[in-house]
Structure 1
């Protein structure tokens, strides 16, 4: 199958899976995509998709990690940093070693370095898959933030560990001291490259948008979409971690965006583009798993002559060890870290046994796991086949499917009686933010006078009209209700009042948005709340500007 045909097929199946998910809301989208891909390819016994491992890694990993770093709420990331880092690095190390030694014992023919590579592949979790399963359940907000932060950083740490395991297999040499030094260099260098490129992009964006404020929007968004790939490629060429570079670049861009509250069109196009890219790339990875599932099963059976049931039993055993290590780590290390955080005065809740079980089953393996498995090279440096590659891909694919199935069954049972009050803090802070934003809009409008607005002044009663319109808008912000249609004696007066009203609304909306960004900068709200609230203001501003343009054209450009 050619690349063009493959991409066309994946896009078509991605759109089809989205429609099917609307008809079957109880089924998570990742499972539907895997099943749909397998159904399509079953008559052909698996589509033999041959993607270069390095190209596959470059295509899927940078945009997904960049988007994770850009979207994750930084306030909660800092507040819950101890349990997040404990999961992202401590659990990854335990998983690599525990799963690696267990697989080497379970399958003696698999080299230890390859077994460690399997452990590294299985380390990253998929918060997107968890959200797809729990979207109609009441997952506690604090746990959701921990899972998002864990998924962000264990993607990077797991894939870095995978790189070391693959290098050890390719060269047959591994030094713990040298690996530790390389890890520090790769990590610090990757973060530095990502932050530096993001800073350069931010400076370029400021210069361009200052000189070409309207025409440059599309070009800026396109450059932003290409930024993760450029960051990853440059970091890898410099010998540092392109994975961490993509994450650091996304986080840096997010902080820089806090100073661009007035760029409405750019922000709306940027968010729409990233929503499409993120959902498309995640879907393509799960569809690729489904498309190749029959071939993966066949290659796995060929690489492991023990039979299908024996191989399936090994996948189940590895998945149980994976979940067991996670449960043990959550029960001991994470509970201890959260207890330490509480003792130091930070308000974090101690997880109950039920929440520990929920967090364990929420350790779903997904897109990054499959991308990491398929990125493993087919041959060694001497041209011989990479030992146990097909078996490794099979074990990783089987663990993805099993963790998804376990979560689909287990999470609804565990969260069935979870109270709805879990999301109250976020709803409360959003209500407070709306009130403060409205107050900022009223204060801005009250400090203005008619001379500060751009509207047609053709009557001796301009000041009276201004006061009437300003009072009406102020009452609307206080009550948040529909504005009354102004009573006027003529169409011209109605038109002038309408334009004045739209101009005042525009200033008020800008004040609302500025206040929301200020609340985010002082950590009164998080990134999720900011994104949702600003989107409301942006949509309102787009509507107001359309009204102004329509009125302007009706008046012949006056």
Structure 2
């Protein structure tokens, strides 16, 4: 019952932290959760916590590292892999040695082996804290990749170094050669195990989906089960479970391919479950850290034989050693790194020193460090108590708190966040994807699917317009310019047709007069529309002259027509063509002109002269005018068009996903942006059955 009460209290604290973080945005969520953990630990109804480090690694660290590895931008990680591995292995070992000897020299009561164990535990950075840095800080993609890559790989080096230091402290014997061999075996073995399991899991996921056996429930359960299987399986083979989880997370794909509402619904539920689980586990980790800190520090703080001032001084010294070592190690690596374009080493400019400082404070210590410290045995060989065990835990706890505070309050000063709206950054990319989708759909228009295609294109055009309004990039003047250009295309079509009719000597005279009259009426309508359209480029005088000329031409044509009819009446002869025939032919010529303009607009969508959404919007306007001129379609035809449009809509989702993948592979967008775009498409897929 106590375990259940503890779980409920932790969940309540996590929920409360999500609300409190909104009111104190300048304090990172991990710090809020640690403070809540400290407060909750003082409540009388909270049971005492006894942390089992192995269980803690399985239940919390394994799934979090697995998700972090899966979500990381792989291409960015490869670019910074050397620096990340240098920090994860080289810096971790250097920190172990520096902290160990410095602590032993400053406080000789701490044995060297025990001091080295503390240094090894302070090597790993906290992946959860790295991904939850202060909201006011803005790190570059490279800096985040380095920090996340380091936090994924440095756990193995820290854990192995810690284990051998503790073994030396307990037995009094330390075999460097044996420790090195075991570290290599653990590192490589864990990586290979994770890769093998990932390949098998990918094949299973693909087979289950292709056979139609996948359901949302089974898929999500398989994904959640995998990190625990990986960690426990690797530990059975005496290799690094942490590295097995990381290697699998980097390799596995989860097979999110496929089009249709069912596939999209599965992908959305999976992403949502992982999102909730990630936040819950992250919060629980720091809540537990806060609940453990008071007890971890109380024994040393209340010891009358140890000066509290000495403890504080040692914490500050160790924190200083860790930070200074990290800063100069990163600066050295940046100095040695070669430019990807020139191949030359670059000098340390102010910006590069600032980058080194950002990555120094961006690597706080956290739960891995504290969980390792709790594994320190109570006794050494011979039955004597492990020397300075409580003091070592106290020092580690203090360093964790200091590094988290420094990350929270110094990072915003070093890397201020000037772009708080991350969603707005994605809107231009989304617009590009939608435009490319419209252009692809336009190229697939045929006589049979034209109406359905235009219905889908209209929905995409409206989405683009709404997105552009959100970021204030609407361009009504551009749309007006395109409208005027379309009128000129209509005028050219009518004039060319009129010239062909007048040049045709084989045509019947009545037919020729009918065509000429229809063309002239169409030209009158177009010129009248152009006269009333004004752009920013038109001057007042030029616009007036154009109106006068147009009205004179219209008056001249109407006068000529009236004269012909008057002569026919005087002679009591029947005109060659009737008004009804002229009206019918004019309508047909308007339809032909509209079709001509639509074809021109479809061609323009593959060019850069006009915006794609303007072209598609004007196509819809002309199509509506065409529908009014033609006979109204039957209900059966409308229903068939709607069903066809639904099929086209589903096809368009596949086009969108393909465009996103191409943009990601070409380096136009990051993995995180591609993942967000795919998530939006999945949401649209779920609603596909509801129609356009």
Could you tell me the TM-score, scaled by structure 2's length?
Answer: 0.69
1:451-470 CA deviation, whole Å, 9 max, x = no partner? Answer: xxxxxxxxxxx656335435
Of 650, 663, 667, the match for 1:506:
650
Are 1:435 and 2:435 matched, yes or no? no
> Does the aligned pair in 2 maintain the 1:104–1:115 contact within 8 Å?
yes
* Cα 1:144–1:32 shift into 2, 3 Å: same
Aligned equivalents of 1:18 and 1:412: distance in 2? 21
Residue 282 of structure 1 is matched in structure 2 by 282
Are 1:465 and 2:456 matched, yes or no? no
Aligned equivalents of 1:240 and 1:529: distance in 2? 35
Aligned equivalents of 2:336 and 2:213: distance in 1? 51
Q: Mean alpha-carbon deviation: is it higher for 153-162 or for 183-192?
A: 153-162
> Does the aligned pair in 2 maintain the 1:327–1:357 contact within 8 Å?
yes
Are 1:89 and 2:89 matched, yes or no? yes
1:10-50 CA deviation, whole Å, 9 max, x = no partner? Answer: 11111111111112212211111111111222355996311
1:152-179 CA deviation, whole Å, 9 max, x = no partner? Answer: 2223332332233334344443221111
SS of the counterpart of 1:135?
Answer: coil
Residue 459 of structure 1 is matched in structure 2 by none
Are 1:199 and 2:190 matched, yes or no? no
Aligned equivalents of 1:353 and 1:7: distance in 2? 44
CA RMSD of aligned residues (A): 3.6
Deviation at 1:379, TM superposition (A): 5.3
Residue 343 of structure 2 is matched in structure 1 by 344
Residue 20 of structure 1 is matched in structure 2 by 20
Aligned equivalents of 1:259 and 1:116: distance in 2? 48
Are 1:326 and 2:311 matched, yes or no? no
Residue 353 of structure 1 is matched in structure 2 by 353
Deviation at 1:214, TM superposition (A): 4.9
1:303-322 counterparts in 2 under 5 A? 305-322=305-322
1:341-365 CA deviation, whole Å, 9 max, x = no partner? Answer: 5542899997522222222222211
Deviation at 1:218, TM superposition (A): 1.6
Aligned equivalents of 1:384 and 1:204: distance in 2? 52
* Cα 1:493–1:169 shift into 2, 3 Å: farther
Residue 479 of structure 1 is matched in structure 2 by 613
Aligned equivalents of 1:117 and 1:88: distance in 2? 17
Deviation at 1:402, TM superposition (A): 0.8
* Cα 1:103–1:13 shift into 2, 3 Å: same
1:295-306 counterparts in 2 under 5 A? 295-301=295-301, 305-306=305-306
Deviation at 1:438, TM superposition (A): 4.2
Aligned equivalents of 1:19 and 1:80: distance in 2? 36
Deviation at 1:240, TM superposition (A): 0.8
* Cα 1:317–1:342 shift into 2, 3 Å: farther
Q: Mean alpha-carbon deviation: is it higher for 105-114 or for 45-54?
A: 45-54
Residue 540 of structure 1 is matched in structure 2 by 684
Deviation at 1:233, TM superposition (A): 0.8
Q: Which runs of 5+ in 2 are unaligned?
A: 465-611
Determine which structure has more spread, i.e. the larger CA radius of gyration: 2
Aligned equivalents of 2:12 and 2:148: distance in 1? 29
Deviation at 1:448, TM superposition (A): 6.5
Aligned length: 530
> Does the aligned pair in 2 maintain the 1:47–1:291 contact within 8 Å?
no
Aligned equivalents of 2:124 and 2:304: distance in 1? 25
Aligned equivalents of 2:302 and 2:46: distance in 1? 15
Aligned equivalents of 2:403 and 2:458: distance in 1? 56
Aligned equivalents of 2:329 and 2:104: distance in 1? 22
1:35-74 counterparts in 2 under 5 A? 35-42=35-42, 48-74=48-74
* Cα 1:356–1:97 shift into 2, 3 Å: same
Residue 160 of structure 2 is matched in structure 1 by 160
Aligned equivalents of 2:666 and 2:360: distance in 1? 33
Are 1:270 and 2:270 matched, yes or no? yes
1:365-384 counterparts in 2 under 5 A? 365-378=365-378
> Does the aligned pair in 2 maintain the 1:123–1:158 contact within 8 Å?
yes
Aligned equivalents of 1:381 and 1:245: distance in 2? 32
SS of the counterpart of 1:352?
Answer: helix
Aligned equivalents of 1:126 and 1:348: distance in 2? 30
1:195-251 CA deviation, whole Å, 9 max, x = no partner? Answer: 111112122222222223553x32121121111111111111111111110100101
SS of the counterpart of 1:289?
Answer: helix
> Does the aligned pair in 2 maintain the 1:56–1:374 contact within 8 Å?
no
> Does the aligned pair in 1 maintain the 2:77–2:145 contact within 8 Å?
yes
1:379-427 CA deviation, whole Å, 9 max, x = no partner? Answer: 55777654433323222221111112222332222234x7769x9xx95
Aligned equivalents of 2:32 and 2:381: distance in 1? 38
Aligned equivalents of 1:116 and 1:535: distance in 2? 46
Deviation at 1:473, TM superposition (A): 5.3
* Cα 1:348–1:500 shift into 2, 3 Å: farther
Aligned equivalents of 1:495 and 1:171: distance in 2? 83
> Does the aligned pair in 1 maintain the 2:157–2:183 contact within 8 Å?
no
Are 1:529 and 2:673 matched, yes or no? yes
> Does the aligned pair in 1 maintain the 2:101–2:112 contact within 8 Å?
yes
Deviation at 1:541, TM superposition (A): 1.6
* Cα 1:436–1:541 shift into 2, 3 Å: same
1:327-380 CA deviation, whole Å, 9 max, x = no partner? Answer: 11122223322x455542899997522222222222211233233333445555
> Does the aligned pair in 2 maintain the 1:35–1:290 contact within 8 Å?
yes
Aligned equivalents of 1:526 and 1:374: distance in 2? 39
Could you tell me the TM-score, scaled by structure 1's length?
Answer: 0.84
1:235-294 CA deviation, whole Å, 9 max, x = no partner? Answer: 11111111110100101114x647668742333222222222222222112111221222
* Cα 1:169–1:227 shift into 2, 3 Å: farther
1:93-119 CA deviation, whole Å, 9 max, x = no partner? Answer: 111111121122233233322222211
1:29-85 CA deviation, whole Å, 9 max, x = no partner? Answer: 111111111122235599631132222222222112111211110111111222222
